[in-house]
Structure 1
Amino acid sequence: MTDAALESWLCMARLKGVGPQASNRILEAYGDPDRYLAASEADRAARGLPKAAVTAPRDRAAVADGIAADRRWAEAADCHIITRDDPRYPPALARIGDPPPVLFVRGDADVLVQPQIAVVGARHASESGRRTAEAFAAHLAAAGLTITSGLALGIDTAAHEGALAVGGATVAVMATGPDRVYPRDNHPLAHSIGQHGAIVTEMPVGTPVTRGLFPRRNRLIAGLSVGTVVIEAGRNSGALGTAYRAIDSGREAMAVPGSIHNPVAKGCHALIRAGARLVESADQVIEEIRAAVEGFTPQTPAPMAGGNDDTEHPESDWAALDEEEIAVLEAMGHDPIAFETLLRRASLTPDILSSILLKLELSGDIAPSSGGYYMRTSNRAGG
């Protein structure tokens, strides 16, 4: 692509009032942004473009500095600007109703055209949810799928880490400019993803964190992927928006069920009621999306250290625990439980129960859950 052509793409992407839908109409009308920018306002209007898109090129000078910043960012060896007419543009993303005209990619741009599965969910996930996301992602990545998520804390982070743990590829989609990482706590993770996958955004250099941009980010996650798996999500979770966008784009939407008492399982249950597939293992995910990936033959992943989401392998048996610890685990059951409720069930004093819970947490058998609850994380035989 010539410098002038790239300049036109970057200009269109930055013009005020020219979002993805307007860009799509511009490309349908003119074929490329250069012809759009060179046209008269009368011609743009005659072609039925939205009013904002008709007049937006008046402000070309106002975006010149931004375009220069985009081009400086792309000078790094691992930074790429991919436009709609670039052969590296992901075909899956091009098929959604409002594909972005420009992508900013850091890392290996080739992973964007590989079969991807989105794994998303709650930021304030339970320990059990994070473990499930990591195990699912590890299994799917080892089977040959690229794991795509949003770099958020909670389920997204666990999904990226699960893929990296088995040497798989993962894609992080951001709502900010490519020169920023949000949340800041995930800077080290973003660096690893850039080395073993790709970080992608449609927002140009300098775009700050803005709440309204996350739905746009979520449509890219769904659009890049052949299917979306939701693991823990509240009723108003952005992960649900990702799943619904997948459905709208004709992709598979899947949800992992949880306890009826777990508030971050409510969104998954709502998705299942709305028609999403209920999945309990990564192998079920593979079966759901196999037909959508031409020529895909799953590799056989090795069991993941610390447990596998697809089979019931007890981590150990009751012999490793004393009688009081066994009694507390039995009293907990498999749903999140409040300290006061467990106190009544186990018939212990608060100080003794606190001591037992600490031991079980240190051994990895339980973990604190949201809202001051506790939840079992192991699957010991006998329980």
Structure 2
Amino acid sequence: MDINLLNDIGLNMIPGLGPRRYNKLIKHFHHSENILKASYGELLKCPGVGPQLAKEIISYELHYNAEEEYKRAHLAGIHIINRSHLQYPESLKAIYDAPIILYIRGNCKILNQYNKNIAIVGTRRPSNYGLDIARSIASDASCAAWNIVSGLALGIDSAAHSSAVNLHRPTIAVLGGGIGKIYPKDNVKLARDICEHGALISEYPILFPPDKRTFPMRNRIIAALSRAVLVVEADLNSGSLITADQALEYGRSVFAVPGRVDYPQSRGCHKLLKQGATLTESFKDIYEEFNLELGINRKSLQKDPLDKPDKAEVDLQLDKNEQSIMGILKPGEVHVDKICELSEMAMGKLLATLLNLETRKLIRLLPGKKYELINRRQHE
């Protein structure tokens, strides 16, 4: 058993300690073991440590049992890691108040897939419009091999998680309490389903109950784990705006969905849009924001439209699946279900490929879920 991990588990269980004070204690004592061995007087010499916290540290073994916590986690299939662990996410380690401990149930590997993680957050009381948008964008993102990150709350969070789960794709739920205290209880089954391909994570001890303080705290983890944050619906007091603010602080991209001007749940998104967030109507808006990094060459899309590309040149730019779809669309517009049948591709893979071709201005989506080539003559 890793003694350093046990020490960090113990420190993480102490009320009032938290990541920032932990940082000061480590800077002062250099190692977690030294913190737990320090005398009352030595602890008071550390900046940020008052009499109450010093007493808690001195007597922590009377109230908390790190070894028992570790065994409880092992029996429940929960991984516990600290900052020195190889699987601790680099994007999370980079923030100044990184969690002391992470409890993880499910797929640990996806936490480090920062470039594929997108947070989708919003109100607990969404409109049908908000739910439809959240589900649509989460589904398209999942089909394009992005991992959905959210907070397992009712409303927009649940819609985003469920969309990924229904497609058997990974999603990460960051909890506002311990993994043994899923909140809300209505989402216990959803939490269980998330673990099949994704992960539940928390910085709190397994049986720690969530409260009003812990939910804003978990928002920084959502922002830090994600390459981008999308706010679907949020009022001006929504915790989703906290997530967006922290995303900006961490250098992440922020996206927002516009709504009705007379609807309270639109005001938070409209505020973000006024502050410079990217207006988002579909996942295509997010995909295009990153297309240079996703291997799409903008310069190749800016050629003179009168220049007819060589057929071999077009073929070289397309993979086998893309060439198949372009061939299917040569006769004219085709419904997505027919494309799926003719290409013999799984629907999730097909939608991702279609989105890629659409973004590259090679095909267009028509009403009724039909697609056609752009500039058909170039491909004849």
With structure 1 as the length reference, what TM-score do the two structures score? Answer: 0.74
Partner of 1:264: 265
Equivalent AA in structure 1 for residue 351 of structure 2: P
Per-residue Cα deviation, 1:252-301 (whole angstroms, up to 9, x for no partner): 1111111212221111001112232222221221333567xxx7559995
- Residues of 1 paired with 2:175 and 2:107: CA distance? 16
* Amino acid across the alignment from 2:77: D
Amino acid at match of 1:83: N
Q: Report the TM-score when normalising by structure 2.
A: 0.74
Q: In the alignment, does 2:121 pair up with 1:120?
A: yes
Taking structure 1 as reference, are residues 36 and 232 closer, same or farther at Cα in structure 2, changes over 3 Å only?
same
- Amino acid corresponding to residue 167 of structure 2 in structure 1: V
Distance 2:17 2:56 in 1: 7
1:13 and 2:9 correspond: no
* Structure 2 segments unaligned to the other structure (5+ residues): 297-321, 323-347, 353-358, 370-380
Do the aligned residues in 2 keep the contact of 1:15 with 1:59 (CA within 8 Å)?
no
Shift of 1:216: 0.7
1:177 and 1:132 map into 2 onto residues whose CA distance is 30
Shift of 1:56: 3.4
Q: CA deviation at 1:46?
A: 3.9
Structure 1 residues 312 and 267, CA gap change in structure 2 (3 angstroms): farther
Question: Number of residues paired by the alignment?
Answer: 309
Change in Cα spacing, 1:253 to 1:143, as seen in structure 2 (3 Å) is same
In the alignment, which residue of structure 1 is the partner of 2:78?
79
- Give the Cα separation in 2 of the matches to 1:3 and 1:43: 25
Alpha-carbon distance between aligned partners in 1 of 2:199 and 2:30, rounded to the nearest angstrom: 28
Change (3 A) 1:68 1:258: same
Code of the residue aligned with 2:168 in structure 1: it is G
**Aligned residue number for residue 365 of structure 1:** none
Instruction: Give the superposition deviation at 1:151.
Output: 0.6
Give deviations 1:120-170, integer Å, cap 9, x for gaps: 011111112111111111111222221100111111111111222333210
Take 2:231 and 2:288, find their aligned partners in 1: how far apart are those partners? 16
Letter in 1 for 2:197: H
Q: Helix, strand or coil for the counterpart of 1:303? A: helix
Percent identical among aligned pairs is 34
Indicate conservation of the 8 Å contact 1:134/1:158, yes or no.
yes
1:50 is matched by which residue type in structure 2?
V
RMSD: 2.7
Matches within 5 A, 1:253-332: 253-289=254-290, 301-303=349-351, 313-315=366-368
Structure 1 pair 11–297 and aligned structure 2 pair: CA distance change class (3 A): farther
Tell me if the contact between 1:15 and 1:57 (Cα under 8 Å) persists in the aligned partners.
Answer: yes
Summarize deviations over 1:305-357 as a string: whole Å, max 9, x none. xxxxx9865459xxxxxxxxxxxxxxxxxxxxxxxxxxxxxxxxxxxxxxxxx
Residue equivalent to 1:179: 180
Shift of 1:201: 0.6
Which residue of structure 2 aligns with residue 63 of structure 1? 63
The 5 Å alignment of 1:1-383 reads 2-51=1-50, 53-65=53-65, 67-76=66-75, 78-115=77-114, 116-289=117-290, 301-303=349-351, 313-315=366-368
**Unpaired segments ≥5 residues, structure 1:** 305-309, 317-383
- Structure 1 residues 46-82: Cα deviation after superposition (integer angstroms, max 9, x where no partner): 44343255443212223334x3452233213731001
1: CA distance, partners of 2:182 / 2:69: 16
Which one-letter code corresponds to 2:256 in the other structure? A
1:329 counterpart residue number: none
Quick check: 1:18–1:56 contact (8 Å CA) kept in 2?
Answer: no
In the alignment, the residues of structure 2 paired with residue 190 and residue 79 of structure 1 have an alpha-carbon distance, to the nearest angstrom, of 13
Per the TM alignment, residue 95 of structure 1 is displaced from its structure 2 partner at its CA by 1.3
8 Å contact from structure 1 (residues 232, 264) kept in 2: yes
Distance 1:26 1:144, change over 3 A: farther
